Amino acid sequence: MISFSECSARERLALLLDADSFHEWLPPALKLTSPHLAQLGVPASFDDGVAIGRATLAGRPVFVAAQEGQFMGGGVGEVHGAKLVGWLQRALRDRPDAVLLLAESGGVRLHEANAGLIAVSEVMRALLDVRAAGIPVVVLIGGTGGCFGGMGIVARCADHIIMSDIGRLAMSGPEVIEASHGVEEFDSRDRALVWRTTGGKHRWLTGDCDALVEDDVSAFREAAIAAITALDASHPVTLERLEAEHARLSARLDFQGAEAIELWAALGLPDAARIPDLDVAAVTALGAR
């Protein structure tokens, strides 16, 4: 077992995809760095924190991208975002069997915030173009940095999300909420609280992710293969589907409170207080609500 969370973005790609099948576009050798970080005197990365390319997965042609959480928290800057947009536009042109995004990002890179914000919205539109063309988009979330901010929105625009219990999917980080509304609103140092509010188990139980796996690269690989096999085409975004989504999300507002254990109990899950202690298999067995 190799920990997905402890791998770098490139290690994840090497282990997740068919051996030696990853072909990278704009690789680090081209030294495509952020000009804005250079202006600030901040160290740059030769891939601006994201690797993009094509590969095969179980023999099928796929496009893959992986964000590097160790560089600027996976934050989306101008170049990083444009690489993702170009990669998605290329998918629209070349029509791979599926598009896989290994997301690990705090969202917009604050050092180049304005460009990053626009870039995230461009990624979102390009992703929805890919889906509309019938190409399924799968997002994998298992890095220690989680998937936050605009990338948390982008992830939920995909067909399918695979998470580990270490993975987190949300909008604002707990530190930001604590800074804004106080430690009694969200204690960012209470790891158990943070994970039961935004972690993979909670997202699985509420249907915010489609597969929950162990923090293991081969488990992610198996789940990704299962996803692209099941998703022969993207689920089209139709009015009927969005109405169903609307009803589902509206029903959530009936719950009054902010505590995950109370929410799980309200969903009818047995022994809700013990869920954080269960392993992935046991949580998976509880089923999504």
Partner 1 sequence: MDWQHLATQLFGAEHGIRRDGDFLHGEVSFDGEMLTVLGTTDHAPIGVQLALAQARVVLDTVARHPGRALLLLIDTQGQQLRRRDELLGINRAMAHLGMCLDLARRRGHRVLGLVYDQALSGGFITSGLIADACDAVPEAEIRVMRLPAMARVTKLPESMLAELSKDNPVFAPGVDNYVAMGGVRRLWEGDFQAALRDALAQAPTVDRRAEDGAARGGRRHAADVIQRVLQAV
**Sites for partner 1 among residues 4-63 (CB under 8 A):** 25-26, 32, 35-36, 39-42, 52
The number of residues that bind partner 1 (CB under 8 A) is 81
Task: Look at residue 212 and give its three-state secondary structure.
Answer: strand
**Among 14, 15, 58, 117, interactor with partner 1 by CB under 8 A:** 117
Beta bridge partners of 199: 168
Q: Least distance in Å: CB of 122 to partner 1?
A: 6
Residues 224-283 that bind partner 1 (CB under 8 A): 237-239, 242-243, 245-246, 249-250, 252-253, 255, 257-260, 263
Residue 12 or 131: the one with the smaller Cβ distance to partner 1 is 131
Q: Does 165 bind partner 1 (CB under 8 A)?
A: no
Measured from the CB of residue 118, what is the shortest distance to partner 1 in angstroms? 4
In the complex, minimum distance from the CB of residue 59 to partner 1, in angstroms, rounded to a whole number: 22
Q: How far apart are CA 147 and CA 65, in angstroms?
A: 14
The residues in 71-110 that bind partner 1, with binding defined as CB under 8 A, are 78-79, 81-83, 85-87, 89-90, 93, 108, 110
Q: Looking at the DSSP assignment, which residues form a beta bridge with residue 162? A: 140, 211
- Using an 8 Å Cβ cutoff, are 253 and 242 in contact? no
Q: How far is the CB of 176 from partner 1 (least distance, A)?
A: 6
Among 124, 137, 213, 231, interactor with partner 1 by CB under 8 A? 124
The candidate with the shortest Cα–Cα distance to 105, out of 170, 165, 194, is 170
Q: Which of 144, 156, 278, 289 binds partner 1 (CB under 8 A)?
A: 156
Work out whether 180 is an interface residue with partner 1 (CB under 8 A): yes
Residue 169 near residue 147, CB atoms below 8 Å: yes
CA–CA separation, 289 and 286 (whole Å): 9
CB-based contact 110:80 (threshold 8 Å): no
Residue whose C-alpha is closest to residue 142's, from 16, 284, 289, 14: 16
What does the block give as tokens for 208?
Answer: 């915010």
User: Least Å distance between CB 3 and partner 1?
Assistant: 25
The binder of partner 1 chosen from 132, 192, 230, 282 (CB under 8 A): 132
3-state helix, strand, coil in the chain (%, to 5): 45, 15, 35
